[in-house]
Amino acid sequence: MKTYDDYYQRLLKMKPNIYIGDEKVGRDDERLKGGMRIIKETFDCAHSDEYSDICTATSHLTGKTINRFTHIHQNEEDLLKKQKMTRLLGHRVGGCIQRCMGIDSLNALSVITYECDQAIGTEFYERFKKYLEFFQDNDLVASAAQTDPKGDRLKRPHEQEDPDQYLRVIETREDGIVVRGCKINITNTPYADEMIVLPCRFMGPEDKDYAVAFALPCDWEGVKLLTRPAYVKSPKKFGTPTANIGDAETFIIFDDVFVPKERIFLNGHGDPRQTPYAGFLALMFAHYHRHSYTGCKPAVTEVIASAAALVAEYNGIEKASHVQDKISHLIGAAELVFAAGESSAKHSEKSPSGTQIPDEILTNAGRRFAGEMIYEEYKILADLSGGLIATLPFEGSFTSEEVGELAMKYLKRNPRVKPENVYRCFKGIETLAVSELAGLMQVAGLHGGGSPQMETITMMMRYDLEKLKNISKYLFGIKSKLRRYERPTVTPRKQLEKFRKVMQAKLKREQ
């Protein structure tokens, strides 16, 4: 395992390809520090006494101890530990830990490359394992680049007026491919080592050029990062850990970029038979990522609950029954979402590749519930805080020689609490709930990993309503095949197996 410093030194060596506004900046730009501060936690905790049991794992490839963020889940326990790790680290950074995209995309690749190989004889899985070993050995941080600009949403990739609205292969060579396009809404790329590029939807035969997956270093030739950093100016005197964190969202532009062969994991342009695996890969990444949300969203909710409880105490309303009711609903939401993740792990299954896959209905039900609750949670926090979180004068007014003492005098609330701590509490909640970063967190809480709309669609795709109807048919006296109830789910494994047979039959016919 590596340390934060190893990681930071690696970043400093990268070529400058980041644009903030119209400035081209290096990895040492101040505005990127906040995001790195979050990633730091993932290195430090892996080395700490308190967290290492959760934050490390044993590589199934090498047997070495690795950072869990680089691990392929081998069993239920791995899924549970990843979920727990995400929750724990979320508490330490006040929200999104930003490194789960790596583990989620790697796990998806491990399942789908294997599957594609089995069905049509490609050799992606071996290639993937080599990449994974390199990834684990260097304890790399990855960004997952999935969302395309999509252009006209009513048209499929190959139907677009501008064919580049989905990232595509424009040339397949002996030694690699050339890709063109853009990925948008991508978190953490400017301070990641690698980007793992994945399709964002099912692709039909005519969309074959768009069925592509690969990995690249983030400063690769032709890659341009149009970055929007979000961060909070840290108070000078009453500094808070929260105020040192940040985020960066990026448009990754692929300006005709060459990808070497050994870094390609899907290429429908070169081999159209691979095309259908684009959709499987898209969904499998989304699925792992949603399961990660069952760890991080409880953390976000608990951070909100914690702040709500603290400010309620400072405001002297902690015992009021409506306050207790509201806080208990925050706690309840966190617990229910985490439980959904745990039960997903309990009902997980081993894919043919050996990688463990969580249950889809439960994962999606949990993630959706979290997404549907997020604005309500901010509402509760704002409700218990009162207006001050949005009107607090800047720190300078509280430290000013001229008016600082008076300003501080009027911050006093609960007499047992020092006014500086009142300041810190309201400033902290301002950062959490009112700042630009807060706006980002709300949107991410709703859309990250797929919006509630998407989770509904996934749930209904995987749930066999006909079997469900047997219950009421039986009860209503209509002929029915009611059996002892097992959740009427079409699991990913069943789907893949079914599809493998279809592909193999097709191949046979074509021979």
Q: Is 134 in the site for a second copy (CB under 8 A)?
A: no
Q: Is 451 in the site for a second copy (CB under 8 A)?
A: yes
The amino acid sitting at 125 is Y
Q: Which residues within the stretch 220-249 sit at the binding site for a second copy (CB under 8 A)?
A: 224, 226-228, 238-242, 249
Instruction: Kindly state the smallest distance separating residue 485's Cβ from a second copy, in Å.
Output: 5
Nearest to 293 by CA among 233, 346, 371, 361: 371
Q: Which residues within the stretch 320-339 sit at the binding site for a second copy (CB under 8 A)?
A: 320-322, 324-325, 327-329, 331-332, 335-336, 338-339
Judge whether 275 and 211 are in contact, CB under 8 Å.
Answer: yes
Listed ranges 6-14, 147-155, 194-202, 213-221: which one lies at the site for a second copy (CB under 8 A) = 147-155
Listed ranges 259-267, 272-280, 282-290, 477-485: which one lies at the site for a second copy (CB under 8 A) = 477-485
Listed ranges 34-42, 87-95, 121-129, 196-204: which one lies at the site for a second copy (CB under 8 A) = 87-95
Looking at beta carbons only, is 31 or 73 nearer to a second copy? 31
Contact pick of 10, 129, 261, 473 for a second copy (by CB under 8 A): 473
Query: How many whole angstroms separate alpha carbon 141 and alpha carbon 221?
Result: 19
Q: Is 158 in the site for a second copy (CB under 8 A)?
A: no
Listed ranges 206-214, 349-357, 385-393, 503-511: which one lies at the site for a second copy (CB under 8 A) = 385-393
Burial 49-59 (b: 16+ CB within 10 A, else e): eebeebbbbeb
Nearest to 230 by CA among 249, 258, 214, 212: 249
Contact pick of 478, 502, 505, 507 for a second copy (by CB under 8 A): 478
What is the residue whose two structure tokens read 């934060």? 4
The amino acid sitting at 157 is P
Instruction: Kindly state the smallest distance separating residue 25's Cβ from a second copy, in Å.
Output: 12
- 3-state secondary structure at position 272: helix
Listed ranges 97-105, 276-284, 406-414, 492-500: which one lies at the site for a second copy (CB under 8 A) = 406-414
Query: Edge-to-edge, what's the strand order for the sheet holding 223-231?
Result: 23-25, 18-20, 223-231, 246-260, 176-187, 168-173
Contact pick of 102, 199, 358, 448 for a second copy (by CB under 8 A): 448
Contact pick of 395, 491, 492, 503 for a second copy (by CB under 8 A): 395
Number of residues that bind a second copy (CB under 8 A): 160
Instruction: Kindly state the smallest distance separating residue 356's Cβ from a second copy, in Å.
Output: 17
Q: Is 502 in the site for a second copy (CB under 8 A)?
A: no
Q: What does the DSSP assignment read for 43-103?
A: HHHHHSTTTHHHHEEE-TTT--EEEGGGPPP-SHHHHHHHHHHHHHHHHHHTS--S-HHHH
Query: How many whole angstroms separate alpha carbon 85 and alpha carbon 100?
Result: 10
Query: How many whole angstroms separate alpha carbon 176 and alpha carbon 196?
Result: 16
Task: State the angle between helix axes of 277-314 and 100-120 in degrees (0 to 180), rounded to the nearest 10.
Answer: 160
Looking at beta carbons only, is 267 or 385 nearer to a second copy? 385
Contact pick of 465, 508, 509, 510 for a second copy (by CB under 8 A): 465
Q: Is 510 in the site for a second copy (CB under 8 A)?
A: no
- Cβ count near 7 (within 10 Å): 22
Q: Is 253 in the site for a second copy (CB under 8 A)?
A: yes
Instruction: Kindly state the smallest distance separating residue 295's Cβ from a second copy, in Å.
Output: 11
Q: Is 208 in the site for a second copy (CB under 8 A)?
A: no
Query: Edge-to-edge, what's the strand order for the sheet holding 264-267?
Result: 142-145, 194-197, 212-217, 264-267
Residues 6+ apart with CB under 8 A from 337: 293, 294, 297, 298, 301, 366, 367, 369, 370
Contact pick of 74, 204, 393, 504 for a second copy (by CB under 8 A): 393
Contact pick of 13, 63, 175, 477 for a second copy (by CB under 8 A): 477
Listed ranges 32-40, 97-105, 265-273, 317-325: which one lies at the site for a second copy (CB under 8 A) = 317-325
Q: Which residues within the stretch 360-379 sit at the binding site for a second copy (CB under 8 A)?
A: 361-362, 364-366, 368-369, 374-376, 378-379
Q: Is 406 in the site for a second copy (CB under 8 A)?
A: yes
Query: How many whole angstroms separate alpha carbon 211 and alpha carbon 109?
Result: 14
Q: Which residues within the stretch 179-198 sit at the binding site for a second copy (CB under 8 A)?
A: 182, 184-186
Q: Which residues within the stretch 416-435 sit at the binding site for a second copy (CB under 8 A)?
A: 421, 424-425, 427-430, 433-435
Q: How far apart are the first and last CA of the chain?
A: 47
Q: Is 178 in the site for a second copy (CB under 8 A)?
A: no
Instruction: Kindly state the smallest distance separating residue 195's Cβ from a second copy, in Å.
Output: 15
Q: Is 407 in the site for a second copy (CB under 8 A)?
A: yes
Q: Is 170 in the site for a second copy (CB under 8 A)?
A: no
Query: How many whole angstroms separate alpha carbon 380 and alpha carbon 326?
Result: 7
Query: How many whole angstroms separate alpha carbon 405 and alpha carbon 509?
Result: 85
Q: For every residue of 163-222, which 3-state class applies, written as one string?
A: HHHCCEEEEEECCEEEEEEEEEEEECHHHCCEEEECCCCCCCHHHHHHCEEEEEECCCCC
Judge whether 470 and 487 are in contact, CB under 8 Å.
Answer: no
Judge whether 345 and 79 are in contact, CB under 8 Å.
Answer: yes
Listed ranges 34-42, 99-107, 138-146, 476-484: which one lies at the site for a second copy (CB under 8 A) = 476-484
Q: Is 392 in the site for a second copy (CB under 8 A)?
A: yes
